[in-house]
Structure 1
């Protein structure tokens, strides 16, 4: 199970780093063109969401990999779950039905990681 959790952590971290990094690297206008939900938020809010995604992605792997402050790994998973709840709610409010599934899947993965790392498979 530990290996399975590591795989989930790395995969989720890669998704978060790619998503957050992409939003941070592009100007707000380009992000809003490709992601309709972003139009309902200010540029600062979108950049904050992106920064939180990057921080969560790093937090899912680095503390556990280095052995320093390993409690940050399950906390990053909880933070990711909260971000994904916000994503699902935002997509429901915007009637962006095709976008709900990916957010829901990432939410479930984050919850599994948090459960495993806070619970029976903690460091």
Structure 2
């Protein structure tokens, strides 16, 4: 189960680190082709969301790796489940109704919650 956690959590952390970095560093115009919802959210909120994603990615990896407060990995994974639940709501209330990636990320984060309980 430990190997499964590291594979799933590592992939999830890579995705969120990449997506969060884009939200923190790119302009609204450069984000728009990938994320149609950025026009409906204030830019500081997009930046804050990116920061939360980066911190969550760190939370998936660093606590179990160091052995310091490993329960934070479970909290980070639960946070990603909640984040994607909110993302699905944002997509469904706007013109962009593509939620397949969000559903996949929600399921992956839920599996990570389950695996983190065993780490």
| TM-score interval, smaller chain | over 0.9
- Tell me how far 1:6 sits from its aligned partner: 1.2
The TM-score with structure 2 as length reference comes to: 0.92
Q: What value does the CA root-mean-square deviation take over the aligned residues?
A: 1.3
Map 1:22-61 onto structure 2 (within 5 A): 22-61=22-61
Greater relative contact order (CA < 8 Å, ≥ 6 in sequence)? 2
Q: List runs of 5+ in structure 2 lacking aligned partners.
A: none
Map 1:67-106 onto structure 2 (within 5 A): 67-98=67-98, 100-106=99-105
Q: List runs of 5+ in structure 1 lacking aligned partners.
A: none
Q: Give CA-to-partner distance per residue, 1:25-57, whole Å, 9 cap, x none.
A: 112342235421011000111111111111111
For residues 106 and 66 of structure 2, the distance between their equivalents in structure 1, rounded to whole angstroms, comes to: 25
Give yes or no for the alignment of 1:111 onto 2:75. Answer: no
Residues paired across the two proteins, number: 119
